[in-house]
Structure 1
Amino acid sequence: MEAGDAPLTPSPENMAALRSAKKALRLEMKRRVAALSDAEKRRQTEVVSRRLIAHPKYQNCQRIAVFLSMADEIQTEYIIKDVFQRGKECFIPRYKSRSNHMDMVKLCSAEAIQQLPLTSWNIRQPAADGSQEEALTTGGLDLILMPGLGFDKHGNRLGRGKGYYDTYLERCLQHSKGKPYTIALAFKEQICDEVPVTETDEKINEVLYEAP
């Protein structure tokens, strides 16, 4: 393809094959993580958290978005506490379940998480009352910590299929600060040889996990 040409649109057959491959890989990733003991997940969480906190991108950022973790993800409670201890500004996701729209809204303290309402996914998120600062309406973001089900070493990410983060990263491009640096947090069991992707899937800059 010549420089400047538009990317080719995948055929319906290719799109169906991609969707099928993603579905199979999601099931495999969920199976791998489900096989981990709670103690092993805590151990890997500690390793990954330490690596992140020592990372120059983390140390030098001021405005950071952090996901509130589910049971099958690297746990982020310690990271959020560290964000506040360092005087950084912390933003967390607020999802609209009937669309792929997500905002990153400001969290006032680590303790405030326990007062947030639970969603149908059994994770906490800010109420949609418009009272919290949204990152892209003010100073943008320096760093986004990315969840996911699977990752490869080329920066490809397998999400849960809703497209929340891909769409949000596209919106970040419209902000004067531009696209934030993105770091995924993963169990080593979530690292794949190759994640199937489409042209709407956003690459991530880096994946942190316990290397073998």
Structure 2
Amino acid sequence: MRSRALSPITSAKAQLRKEIGYQLGLIEEEEIEKQSWTVQRTLIESRQFQAAQRISVYVNTKAEILTDRIIHECLRLGKELFIPHFRRKDPRMRMLRLNGLNEFENLDSTLWNIRQHSQDTEAEEYVGTGALDLIVMPGVAFTRNGDRLGHGMGYYDKMLAEHEDLFGKQPMKVALALNEQIIPNVPLHPTDISIDSILFEEELSKKEMTMRIGRRDSHQS
């Protein structure tokens, strides 16, 4: 039996994932750490992060902006923290509570080499205790205006739609990206959810330089 042909958008997404994935594989670990330092610092210092009490943060894998510092800061500040959990043959991504630094440091790499709770975990899911204030998301590629290309499973789109069904709203959606993940256009399906804010080192460095120049000029005038 011949398989059903992929739609043009699905095919374009698959090709783009291959292209971006190849480019990300060329980035040195030191460069990822450098970009991550700026991005994590900016998020932690942001008004949105400081005000949020219930936060979901992805646990990074290779060739993603690191999130360990963000997770440590959430735990230090006593915020309610939830991290993704994936199960074999389950199309639904769960967000499970992370209770402390020791628990975080003892997470195992399981499906797709992602650090997460064990497959038989009894960790609490966020849906039982209320809406999230902020969700920090990964992705393959992004545009500056908030379009996102995920990994192709639709986990975050489904999770955010579920959140809106349950609580009548979506959390603030922030994506963290490497400079190499920012592209002009992303092919989209109608069900793809856009993000509210994207943080990447190149843009943040430009803004910081502009602020420094502005402060210097004001002192000289």
Same fold (TM over 0.5): yes
Kept in 2: contact 1:140–1:177 (CA 8 A): no
Instruction: Please show how residues 14-33 of structure 1 align to structure 2 within 5 Å.
Output: 16-33=7-24
Which of residues 175, 187, 202 is equivalent to 2:178?
A: 187
Task: Tell me whether 134-143 or 115-124 shows the greater mean CA deviation.
Answer: 115-124
Q: Name which of 101, 104, 115 aligns with 2:106.
A: 115
Of the three residues 46, 54, 65, the one matched with 1:63 is 54
* Alpha-carbon distance, 1:200 to partner: 1.2
Match of 2:130 among 121, 139, 142: 139
Could you tell me how far apart the structure 2 residues matched to 1:91 and 1:172 are? 14
Are 2:170 and 1:169 equivalent residues in the alignment?
no
Report how far residue 55 of structure 1 moved.
1.2
CA 1:177–1:143: 2 relative to 1, 3 Å: farther
Larger Rg, first or second structure (1 or 2): 2
Question: Which letter does structure 1 place at the counterpart of 2:142?
Answer: F
Cα deviation, 1:54-88, whole Å, max 9, x if unaligned, reads 11111100000011100111011111001111111
How far, CA to CA, are the matches of 1:31 and 1:118 in structure 2? 22
> Counterpart of 1:173 in 2: which secondary structure?
helix
* Alpha carbons 2:27, 2:63 under 8 Å: kept: no
SS in 2 for 1:144: strand
- Which residue of structure 2 aligns with residue 152 of structure 1? 143
Measure the CA separation in 1 of the matches of 2:178 and 2:115.
22
Give secondary structure in 1 for the equivalent of 2:94.
Answer: strand
How far apart in 2 are the matches of 1:94 and 1:105? Answer: 7
RMSD (Å) for aligned C-alpha atoms: 1.7
Runs of at least 5 residues in structure 1 that lack an aligned partner in the other structure: 1-11
Unaligned 5+ runs, structure 2: 207-221
Shift of 1:130: 5.5
Query: How much has 1:131 moved relative to structure 2?
Result: 2.1
Structure 1 stretches of at least 4 aligned residues deviating more than 3 Å after TM superposition: none
Q: Which has the higher helix share?
A: 2
User: TM-score, normalization: structure 2?
Assistant: 0.85
Aligned residue-pair number: 200
1:49 pairs, out of 24, 40, 45, with 40
